[in-house]
Amino acid sequence: MRDLNTLPPLKLALVQTQLAWHDPQANFAHFDDLLKQAHGADLVILPEMFSTGFSMDSAGQFEPENGPAAQWLLAQAQRLEAVVTGSVIVQAADGSYRNRLYWARPDGELAHYDKRHLFRMAGEHEHYSAGEQQVVVELNGWRIRPLICYDLRFPVWSRDAMDTDLLLYVANWPGARRLHWNRLLPARAIENLCYVAAVNRVGKDGNGLVYAGDSQVLDFQGDSLLEVGTADGVFTATLDGAGLAAYRDRFPAYLDADTFRIQ
């Protein structure tokens, strides 16, 4: 078992903003300006499909693996000396389209997670292929699991079977279902005894859907450390490893958790 008391504080920068529809260059330029406010963060988090908006035009909006958005993220990571993450539309080497979260490190390393649960009510499952693997990445000793939007509704996939310290959700979650977003996020924190950070967008997309934001950071009891509401900008919160360790020692529900394997 790792000693969480030795983890350094982890500073998060959540970037909640509007997105230009199907216009990566406009979005890169917009984030170039916004991310000036993120200096000093360890981890900078952008929304789902941050370069295009949540689009079902996978064939028209994709980029190749490690394409322009990936290279832009790596450049931002180097500039900020922080990990920068968010998801984009990618055509994988096998020809399939993926809603892919990139995890760009300042040393030039690039990891990724492909969205597992595709939002069928928008037809996402007809335009993208689902990811097959859970992913855990490490930052300054913190173990972080990235997930994407609709994944939030599936507690088995989010379940902390791998000693996770932070569950991270990036999203384009419409305002019409903001109540679900605000109820499910604390549930994931409580049941997994870990921090949760979630970044959504604001504004209206090319399909006329309105997004209310509600990006937030929650502690291991589901209590709020940061609530953004509908604001547009960069917002920060700092996570404390010692607090997480103390709570898990005091309330070790994970010792009674069921074991299972996802097929």
Catalytic center residues: 48, 115, 149
Q: How far apart are CA 174 and CA 85, in angstroms?
A: 21
Task: List the 142-148 sheet strands across, edge first.
Answer: 137-139, 142-148, 166-170, 195-199, 216-218, 224-227
Q: How far apart are CA 44 and CA 138, in angstroms?
A: 14
DSSP class per residue in 168-194: EEE---BGGGHHHHHHHHHHHHHHHTS
SS3 95: coil
207 dihedral zone (left: phi>0; alpha: psi -120 to 50; beta): alpha
